Amino acid sequence: MKIIDRYILNEIKIPVIFGVSLFTFIFLIDIIVAMMENIIVKGISFIDVLRILSFYLPPILSQTIPMGMFLGIMLTFSKFTRTSEATAMSAVGMSLKDIVKPVFGAAVATTFFIFFLQESIIPRSVMKLQYLTAKIAYENPVFQLKEKIFIDEVDEYNLYIDRLVGSDKVANGVLIFQRGKDKNFPTLIVGREAYWKDSAMVLKDSKFYNFNDKGQEVLTGEFDEKKVPLAAYFSEMNIKVKDIEAMGIKKLVSEMKGKTPEEKILYKVEINKKLAVPLATLMLSLLGVFLSIGHHRSGKGANFALSLIVIFSYITCLNIGIVMATRGIIPVFIGIWTPNFILLILTIFMYKIKAKVI
């Protein structure tokens, strides 16, 4: 590798890391806010929150790396222009192709890395995320239970809690309906308070009432403690990352077999998106060079604003295409790949303009 190629790659390294970090943070804001609520309100440990965030990162990075590459390259080559390094490269006989060669190589490597993320890392990451969130809820049911909410998803139990008190979230005013397969009316259990132990609710100072098929009370009693298992409810926590988004392309193709044409649309959209977004890295990287290099002396702010306009325009067009393709308004290929074709045309156009002056 030539010294100048190594120099260019070293110069783009820090700005690209900055760009990827910036966009990743933007994507993570909603998740971070939700996690802060879990720390402050629901008692989830800070370490567990960090582990959850780490499993959210791979799906987000597959989208933010192309954006970060574009922003970082624009910042680097705008600096080359301001400091006249781009002029010096041209003066020593480097063509535009020579200048973009190391950038193109880095973009190709990054594209393959994103494909690796999608096919190998993301499916494993989502599986670990599901396991970890279920484990947290299993060990700390307060993570899911809320005041004044009627829960009917706990096996044969219906559950209502009036208040959660203190840092340990002790429940006051507990009402439970225990359903039976051969009974028209459930057993009613009323508890003064309850706490959690080993993924079960332990009721204290409670009463129970049994009813016959006509709804008449036939048996009543009291007990000091009663354990109500809740593990089944908490093992089915909802994960924000959709199952289809966690699948690799190979898995999506196999899962699509046997589906109806309407059901296949979602799979086709996801497959095309997993191909189009990584490949956009190539166009964005080259376009970042062509938009920022030259004999002008635009400031950092102008180049930063231009890069954001291009990135968010691409995201907007892609999302519009995804929605229209999902609803069957336009073919999937057109909906997903049109933003890439626009990038390609813009990249070729800018290359022809810059090749005349570099």
Please give, one letter per residue, the 3-state secondary structure of 163-200.
Answer: EEECCCCEEEEEEEEECCCCCCCCEEEEEEEEEEECCE
Residue 101 shares a structural domain with residue 157: no
Q: Considering 213, 234, 255, which residue would you say is the last residue of a domain?
A: 234
Q: Which amino acid is at 261?
A: P
Same domain? For 100 and 36 the reply is yes
Examine the domain organization and report whether 203 and 87 are in the same domain.
no
Residues 6+ apart with CB under 8 A from 328: 262, 265
Dihedral angle over CA of 288, 25, 115, 262, nearest 10? -110
Q: In which domain, by residue range, is 133 found? A: 3-139+241-355
Instruction: Tell which of 234, 264, 296 closes a domain.
Output: 234
Helix, strand, coil shares of the chain, percent, nearest 5, are 65, 15, 20
Asked if residue 9 and residue 132 are part of one domain, the reply reads yes
SS3 assignment, position 224: strand
CA pair distance 65, 278, nearest whole angstrom: 9
71 shares its domain with 155:
no
- C-alpha–C-alpha distance, residues 194 and 204, integer Å: 6
One digit per residue, the tens of pLDDT, for the chain of length 358 reads: 688 888 889 999 999 999 999 999 988 887 777 777 666 655 667 777 788 888 888 988 998 999 999 999 998 988 888 888 877 887 787 888 888 999 999 999 999 999 999 888 888 888 787 777 766 665 655 555 667 777 765 566 777 788 877 666 678 888 888 777 777 788 888 888 887 766 677 888 888 888 888 777 878 888 888 777 665 555 444 444 456 777 888 888 888 888 888 888 888 999 999 999 999 999 999 999 998 886 555 556 666 788 788 888 999 999 999 999 998 899 999 999 999 999 999 999 998 888 877 6
For 75, residues 6+ apart whose C-beta sits below 8 A from its C-beta are 15, 18, 19, 292, 300, 303, 304, 307
258 plus 306 within the same structural domain? yes
Looking at the structure of the chain, the number of domains it has is: 2
pTM: 0.70
